Each structure stands twice: as structure tokens, then as C-alpha cells.
Amino acid sequence: MEKIETNYGLMSIRNRILIFSVLVTFIPSFGMGWLLNSMIHATITEKTEQKLLYSANIIEREISLWFKQRNYDLHVFSNSFVISENLARHFSTQNNTEQETSPPSLYTKKIATYLNSVQKQFDDYTRLFVLDNEGIVVAASNSTDQVPPIQLPGNTTEQIAATNFFKGDVYLTEENSSPLILIGIPLFSKEYDTYVGFLAAEVRLQGLLPLLQAALFDTKEDLHICGALIRLKDGSHFLSTGHSADFVTPENVSNKTSQLFDSPPHLQNFFNYHGTRVVGIAIPLTTSGWGLLITENYVDVFARVTRSRNRNILIICSFALFIGLGAYLFAKQIITPLKALTNGALQVANGNLDVSLPLQKNDELGFATRMFNEMVTELKQSHAKLEQLATTDALTQLANRKQIMKSLLKHFENYQRYSTEFSILMIDIDHFKKINDTFGHLAGDAILIQIATIFKETLRNVDIAGRYGGEEFLVILAETSGEKAKHTAERIRQAVEQHIFTFEKYSLKISISVGVARILQNEKNENTLVSRADQALYLAKENGRNRVVYIADPPAAPLAG
């Protein structure tokens, strides 16, 4: 009898079922693993892009505020009579030598002495200059010899006309390892309609480094985030958080990196000047004319994708051991949460940040779902923080000027539509500059915070208080007549007068002056209301401070007879 071959090898039904089951399990599992990996990659890419854009917006705002602070500093310096009077006398002696009563250098020396005393109080300023319109140095700090003319920016006139402030290009000197920039403001004389010179300062840009580091610091993720400021005209970066020596010898970025600034800001991957693969965003800064490049290490950012991919490979190999029903049931269990992830990702892409996917299983898809939910939560928190930063004063936690003026406009529109009466208070802290000069700006900040607390305790929930600027506050009293607003202002004034303000070991007594104004039927806009309240505040200060002034409604114009 012929022996029947029972070993069919791969052609056996068992092996064919096994191979079929492995293929049916392996191919879909591989496909779903690849899709999941792509979704996580896309999700991390979107999250990273949002985070870097958020950091870039903060940096751009901080740099803008930094320049505004420098502008404010120069205006404060220029208000000194030492500059105005001695500069006028200096020009007078130059124009009329017959009336010269003292050497011209005496006036410039007084200005230089003042500039030296000011410059010593600010580490960021290397030198301060008083220049004439040609850029010739009239007086300068830290200078004993003749100072050569200062090279003003080519568009100084245009910058002065636009912002009453100018700034030059970034440069380096042998005396300073930090990059420098020349900024300045015009100086005006009572005898001339136009400016007669400039107050300029040479500023260290290294002072921007803490702002970059603070904006890029991330306590939730241990990622290496680097921010660099780049001079767009030649592609050299002059300040970076990458390492402390970056700003000593600026390096040029590659042409490919420079081209990133030509397209709308979005996350891209490239190689930095160290040859490391990174992902980053390049944004031109409109306020400074620089470029901002924020990068993260590519491997660090997508480490979760790599780990997820490795886990998926192991899972797929394990799935290959299952047959038949196991493959079918497992595929069914994958499809349901995968659809939920897809639908959730679509909702997030459409702007819905209230998505929360249920955790059905504690497996890889459950991990992806948990990461997705955490991502949505972080995006929502970031959005809320950004919105709060845009509407809240960081020191007092009251509404900032933009928000309080927005609320005032809303009240004004409601009054025009529904005749809903309201009043406003313009409040100013008396002798606030003296407090800052005597006890320091930290004491001033402490007083502002405590006064904000008094507002919160004194005002109703429907009232709105905001920091209008410096030591000035604007309060909107809803559905309040002028007389009631006056009583409320007096109650606030008394609360401040009776309050004992504390700072460190000091106990201080503070007073405020308040101007009151109510909405009128013939009010043109909300700014005229603010102007009347400001006028009342001015009268309160003129009449001795620590008082409330309410200007009665202006009398109606007489009828033409």
C-alpha cells in the first residue's frame, strides 16, 4: 500500500488558516498602528506649534514692552531741568557769544554729570548722550575725552514722526560682550517749534535674555527649548538662550533657515547651525525689525511617537500569534476608540476645545486617548491664560487699560440703546512718585496691590475697576447717578485714608484724589466722559488732594432769540 504523505507543509489547512489569520491580524494591525502613529505625530506637531506660537507671542509682547519701558525711561530722564535748562543755555551761548557769561563747557559738564548719575542706576545702559540734530555729542556719560559724532539711523526722522522715538541697528563693540542698540527721543525747546536735539542711550540687549528664558521655560515637559533673536538684514543671530556665549560672536544662520521668515509662521523641521535636527517656528518681529526663531530638539519632541511606534511593533508581532476570532474581536475593539479619536481630532481642528473622550480601555489606544485629552486640556488652559493675560493687569489683577476701556465702550453703547445710566471715577494716588523715590518701586507695587484689594472689597459685583495707567485707576459704576457715584468715591477715599499700608517693616498712610463724572445725553463718545472725569481729578489735586470732586453737568446752551 502506498504510503500517504501527511506532511503538507505550508499547504496544510492548519498552516493556511494560521497564515491567513496572521495576515488578517498583522496587516490591519500594522495599518492601524501606522495610522495611530501618524495621528499622535500630527497631534504632537499641532501641540508643539501652538506652544511655540504662544511663546513667540509672549516674547514679542515682552520685547515691545521692553522698548516701551526704555522709551519711558528716556522721557523721564529728559524731563529733568538739568537737561532742559543747561541745553538751552548751551545753545544760547553758541548762537550769541556776546552774551556769554560762562564757558559753554560748564553747561555741558552739568548735563554730563547728570547723565553719569542716571546711568549708574541702570545696568542696561552703557552710555547716555545728549546730541544735537546732526548727531554731534553735546554731553555724554562715562566720557572724559571728545566723543565722536553718533551715527543716527537713516530713518530717524521717520521714526520720530511716527512714534516720537527711534532705535538703530544691533551692533557690537570691543568694550562690551553684549550686543548693543542705540535708542533715543527728541528734545524740545520752548523757543523752537521743532526738536533741537536728542537724548540717546546705548543699551545692552543682554537684558532681553531673561525675558526669552522666562517665556520659553516649561515646567510640564523636560524639553530643550531654544530661542534666538536674528538680524534679518544679514541673517546673523545676536542673542540666544542656547548657551551663554551665543551673543559674544554672532553666527549666521543657513540660507534655508533664513527663508523660514519668508513664509507664514508654522512648525517646520530643519537643521540648526550646530547641525542638530530641530523643529521650530520663525516669526518676524514687527516692533523691532528682528526675527525670532524658537526651536526644540526633534528627537525630544517626538520621543513619544518613537516609543509608541516601538510598542506598536511589539503589539503587532504579538497579534500575529492570535487566530480567527481573536483577530476579529481585537480589530473590533480597536475601531471604536480609533473613531472616537478621529472625531475628537476633527472637533479640535474646528476649534472645539470642550472635547473629552471616554477612556474605554487601559491599552495603547487608551494611552493615546489620555494623551489626546491632556493635550486638549492644556490647549484650553493655554487659551484661558492667554485671554487672561490680554485682559488683566498682572500686578493688581484688575482689568488692564484695554479691557476697562472696552467695558466703558460697552456701557456707553448700552446707554445709547437702553438709556442705562452709569458714572465713572478717575482715581489717582497722591504723591505716588515720592513713595517710589523714598521706599523704592517695590513699595509702590505693594501699595497698588493693596489699593486694588480695597476696590474689590468696596465695590459691588456689577462695578468694574481697572488700572488706567501707572498709579491711575478707572472705576465704572453701573446704574449709578452722579450723586451716588460721589458718595461711592468718598467711601473709597475714606477706606484708603483709614487703611494702614504695609511694606516690609514700614507702615504707610496713603491718600487718593478722585474725579467723578456721569454719562450725559449729549455725550459724543466714551472719551469725552473720561475727559470730564480727568478734569475733575485735576481739580481735586489742584485743591489740595485727598478729596473727591464732582463737576456738575454743564448748563444747557441758551435758545436763540
> Which residue is catalytic, options 387, 471, 483, 490?
471
What's the rounded Cα separation, in Å, for the pair 452 and 449?
5
Contacts of 306 (CB under 8 A, 6+ apart): 299
Residue for grid cell 521706599 = 439
SS3 sequence, 295-343? EEEHHHHCHHHHHHHHHHHHHHHHHCCCCCHHHHHHHHHHHHHHHHHHH
Q: What is the pLDDT of residue 2?
A: 43
Q: What is the pLDDT of residue 519?
A: 93
Q: What is the pLDDT of residue 333?
A: 62
* pLDDT level of residue 80 (50, 70, 90 thresholds): confident
Q: What is the pLDDT of residue 219?
A: 46
Burial 130-150 (b: 16+ CB within 10 A, else e): bbbeebebbbbbbeeeebeeb
Q: What is the DSSP string of 47-84?
A: HHHHHHHHHHHHHHHHHHHHHHHHHHHHHHHHTSHHHH
Section 19-37 average pLDDT: 70
What's the rounded Cα separation, in Å, for the pair 203 and 128?
9
Q: Are 433 and 486 in contact (CB under 8 A)?
A: no
Q: What is the pLDDT of residue 557?
A: 44
| Domains of the chain in sequence order | 29-45+304-389 (no CATH), 47-53+209-301 (3.30.450), 65-205 (3.30.450.20), 401-550 (3.30.70.270)
Q: Is 542 helix (H, G, I), strand (E, B) or coil?
A: helix
CA end-to-end span of the chain, whole Å? 140
* Cell numbers linked to 231: 538680524
Q: What is the pLDDT of residue 13?
A: 44
What's the rounded Cα separation, in Å, for the pair 226 and 217?
10
Answer with the residue of higher pLDDT: 34 or 100: 34
* Cell numbers linked to 293: 526663531
What's the rounded Cα separation, in Å, for the pair 249 and 192?
45
pLDDT digits (tens, 9 = 90+) for 237-294: 788 886 543 334 445 566 666 777 777 888 888 777 777 888 888 888 887 788 888 8
* pLDDT level of residue 26 (50, 70, 90 thresholds): low
pLDDT digits (tens, 9 = 90+) for 357-411: 777 667 666 777 777 777 777 777 766 676 666 788 889 999 999 999 999 999 9
125-132 and 137-140: which strand pairing? antiparallel
Alpha-carbon torsion (290, 291, 297, 300), positive or negative: positive
pTM of the model: 0.49
Contacts of 280 (CB under 8 A, 6+ apart): 52, 260, 267, 268, 269, 270, 293, 294, 295, 296
Q: Are 523 and 412 in contact (CB under 8 A)?
A: yes
Candidates 45, 86, 69; CA nearest to 441 is: 69
Q: Are 444 and 378 in contact (CB under 8 A)?
A: no
Annotated active-site residue 542? The verdict is: no
Answer with the residue of higher pLDDT: 270 or 202: 202
Q: CA angle 59-46-292, nearest 5°? A: 25
pLDDT digits (tens, 9 = 90+) for 398-436: 999 999 999 999 999 999 998 899 999 999 999 999 999
Section 213-222 average pLDDT: 66
What's the rounded Cα separation, in Å, for the pair 163 and 159?
6
